Amino acid sequence: MCRRHTLRKSVIDLYTPVEQLPRVGPAVSQKLHRLGCKTLIDLVLHLPFRYEDKTRITPLRDALVGQPALYEGQIQSVLPKRHPKQPIRVMMSAQGAIAELVFFKLFPNQLSGLKVGRWIRCFGTVLPSSKGLKIAHPEFVTFDECPGPDLDETLTPVYPTTAGISQARIRALVQQSVHWAKPALLEEASEETLPISLMSCFEALCYIHFPKPDAPIDLESHEHHPAVKRLVFEEHAAYQFAMRKARQQMQQCHARPFETKEKIESAFVNRLSFTLTQAQNTVWSEIKQDLAKATPMMRLVQGDVGSGKTVLAGLAAFSVIQSGGQAAIMAPTELLANQLATQFKKWFEPFEIPVALLTGSIKGKARKQISEGLESGNIPVAVGTHALFQNPIRFQNLGLMVVDEQHRFGVEQRLALYQKGQGTHQLVMSATPIPRSLAMTMWADLDISIVSERPPGRQPIQTIAVPTSRKEDVIERLDAAIEREEQAFWVCTLVNENETLPQEAAVKAFESLTQRLPHRRVGCVHGQMPSAEKEKTLAAFRAGEIEVLVSTTVIEVGIDIPKATLMVIENPERLGLAQLHQLRGRVGRGQKSSFCVLLYDTPLSLLAKKRIEILRSSDDGFELAEEDLKLRGPGEVLGRRQTGARQFKIADIYRDRALIGDIQSLTDYLQTHQPKVVESWASRWHAGEIVLTQV
């Protein structure tokens, strides 16, 4: 037996690497790393996103369509496959009711248990069917006589997982990790003296990983449940402490001051094809003052779609470069990095300033040349993805780090940037307006500037809501726009986690539009495509070689196509106001009138109707952010976006806004009276990513 399997529990602590845990080999540890689980505590804090109730059997006659439940009955018939694409059909009866179980794939040992007269216990969701009850591919066990196997004593947690790790495996790993972590967590709890009444961390984790039968199925949305409240308070406090500590340490670092000379500023501004707005000039003054200081700038520039934030980053980079420094501009995706690189080259080439693009797909000799150029200082500007800050990339004199669309980077990525960029001026930008009160909480480590107006001359976007029954009218309108030499987006959203994946919906829409408009050039992009293929498609769209781009919400932020005048969004009722506004902002960037068509399913809920009404009446992102805040119910978890990194595991800045004052008071108290406690919280919620006790 290998040594890994004989590791004694006594030598396992909260920060033991997963590869050193029993029954975790190299292949499994790699997959766990993909889930963000690198240590024991990461597994302990790998929280379920829903629960299944297998503690009670629901009579078949009481089955509800769309409601997952556990059923038990006797097998009446088994209809095997007649050809490979045909499913296996099993008829089950109980209490005078009959249900059809449909299986598309079964292992031989599963199939051998499906015999007429045997009993079957299955867990699944009843689907609507004209032929009666139907359950597609349920989990099941078979047995000869009643009573069957014992029922579960707790709800079954369902965890985020990845290819190659089954639910049963991740569940066993997480639950075993909770037991291993028990001594350390109980020891920490004995040292806590909190000013408010909270369940201990270990109790809360036990409740969430081993939920009692009467626990709410959507436990995460119950922020007032004692177990959820404990973890919410702890994660928020850990985040607040980490951000405060990061800011404190950055302020203790020395940064090279960069004085912006008026002559240099004018040289850049005078070559622009537009005049800076008053709001842009105000924010630039704040950036300029920060750059002139001997402590690192830590500033967030927040602005609505199209407000002109990128040019401020360009001006800051130009100022630093002219004073002998280097600038790095980081985007969350290769797609946006390519676009930014094109823009920076356009600004800087007249001044003979080389701009390098560095992303994960650039390899070999080209990557080596860029790396050498950055290290020697011959390349003063690099635009790229997180590849910019991976070893062995080094800068000779990095003076400014710009992070674009920073809300799409998770907490760990932001903290890692601080580690890389100590002593460097940092400018982060976000095109997702967030109410100022929440922004100050979310970005406690940053000074905040707001570009509060848009450049003049931009055409307003008319927003229209249309039911799917009029889809043909929308396609005809799209065809007419292309006839006028305009371009269009057609966006497919995620329906829900149990139905069509967004990329599958996009491919289906692409095929449908290609068939309906054979005389038009239609392209498709989604998040699962290889980067090179996405880039090729988007480049063709920018060049006008593609007239209609079908996509998922991967195009939500930053993509700039001046000839695009029509945005069609399928199932807009599934998205929040902020995301709809971001998608709408992909059009209206040229001089022609632009339209956003919301193609919705009927009937609309009252909440969806209200959202659409608000979106149609306003194009102010900050106003929409405030309205979004009012509309969001306590059960709506913002963290589950279709794109971008999730900021928290269980905390949610919108849902928990009423608790923020108490959380900040708790953080203040712990920093003053129990610093070791809050440091341990920060360490476990950001394990392996945060080293805040050293500068």
Separation of alpha carbons 210 and 204, rounded Å:
10
Is residue 469 domain-shared with residue 442, that is, in the same domain? no
Q: Which residues pair with 567 in a beta bridge?
A: 489, 596
- What pLDDT sits at residue 210? 93
Which pair of tokens denotes residue 68?
Answer: 């997952």
Confidence of residue 555 (pLDDT cuts 50, 70, 90): confident
In-domain check, residue 397: yes
Distance CA 678, CA 686 (A): 12
What 3-state class would DSSP assign to 300? strand
Select the more confidently predicted residue: 582 or 117.
117
Same domain, 349 and 304: yes
For the ranges 373-387, 638-652, 655-669, the one whose mean pLDDT is highest: 373-387
> Across all residues in the chain, what is the average pLDDT?
85
Query: What pLDDT does 495 receive?
Result: 42
Give the domain extent around 301.
257-451
User: Which pLDDT score is estimated for 215?
Assistant: 77
At 223, is the pLDDT very low, low, confident or very high (cuts 50, 70, 90)? low
Residues 393 and 473 in one domain: no
Confidence bin at 518 (pLDDT 50/70/90): very high
d(CA 630, CA 658): 12
Give the model's pLDDT for residue 463: 95
Q: Is there a single domain that holds both residue 514 and residue 427? A: no
- Is residue 433 domain-shared with residue 472, that is, in the same domain? no
Query: In CATH, what number is assigned to the domain containing residue 71?
Result: 2.40.50.140
pLDDT for position 644:
34
Which residue, 451, 480, 502, sits at the end of a domain?
451
pLDDT bin (cut points 50, 70, 90) of residue 163 is: confident
Q: What is the pLDDT of residues 429-439, one digit of tens each?
A: 887 777 766 77
Residue 93 lies in a domain: yes
More confident residue, 316 or 105: 316
- Range with lowest mean pLDDT among 35-49, 287-301, 403-417, 457-471: 403-417
What pLDDT band is residue 641 in, cutting at 50, 70 and 90?
Answer: very low
Cβ-based neighbours of 668, under 8 Å, separated by 6 or more: none
Main-chain phi, psi angles of 569, to 5 degrees: -120, 115
What is the average pLDDT across 162-191? 92
Whether residue 483 is found in the same domain as residue 619: yes
- Amino acid at residue number 631: L
Tens-digit pLDDT profile for residues 81-101: 877 778 899 999 998 899 999
Q: Is residue 327 a part of any domain in this protein?
A: yes
* 694, pLDDT greater than 50: no
- Say if residue 479 is in the same domain as residue 607: yes
Residue scoring higher pLDDT (569 or 253) = 569
Structural domain count of the chain: 3
Q: Of 576, 601, 631, which residue constitutes the final position of a domain?
A: 631
pLDDT at residue number 421: 60
- How far apart CA 292 and CA 436 sit, in angstroms, is 26
Residues 288-344 have pLDDT tens digits of: 999 999 999 989 998 887 788 999 999 999 999 999 999 999 988 787 888 899 999
Residue 414 has what pLDDT?
58
CATH number at 317 reads 3.40.50.300
Q: What pLDDT was estimated at residue 149?
A: 92
Q: Is residue 622 part of a domain?
A: yes
Q: Is the pLDDT of residue 628 over 60?
A: yes
Determine how many CB atoms are found less than 10 A away from the CB of residue 448: 16
Q: What is the pLDDT of residue 502?
A: 54
pLDDT band at 604 (very low <50, low <70, confident <90, very high): confident
Q: How many helices (H) and strands (E) does the chain have?
A: 21, 21
Instruction: Please check whether residues 359 and 408 belong to one and the same domain.
Output: yes
Examine the pLDDT at 212 and tell me if it is beyond 90. no
Structure tokens at 594: 């632009």
- pLDDT given for residue 90 in this prediction: 96
Domain identity same for 519 and 563: yes
Q: What distance in Å separates the CA atoms of residue 508 and residue 15, rounded to the nearest whole number?
A: 45
CB 586 within 8 A of CB 597: no
Q: Domain for residue 596, yes or no? A: yes
User: Please, which residues have CB within 8 angstroms of residue 381's CB and are 6 or more apart in sequence?
Assistant: 317, 321, 326, 327, 328, 329, 344, 348, 353, 354, 355, 356
Tens of pLDDT, residues 493-515: 854 433 445 556 788 899 999 99
Q: Are residues 300 and 401 in the same domain?
A: yes
Mean per-residue pLDDT, 671-695: 72
pLDDT per residue over 35-57, tens digit each?
Answer: 889 999 999 999 998 899 999 99
- Per the domain annotation, does 201 fall within a domain? no
Using the predicted structure, report yes or no on whether residue 60 has a pLDDT greater than 80.
Answer: yes
Of 423, 451, 479, the residue at which a domain comes to its end is 451
* Residue 548 sits in the same domain as residue 614: yes
Q: Is residue 156 part of a domain?
A: no
* 371 domain-assigned: yes
Would you place residue 8 in the very low, low, confident or very high pLDDT band (cuts 50, 70, 90)?
A: very low
Query: Comparing 382 with 132, which gets the higher pLDDT?
Result: 382
Q: Are residues 405 and 524 in the same domain?
A: no
pLDDT band at 556 (very low <50, low <70, confident <90, very high): low
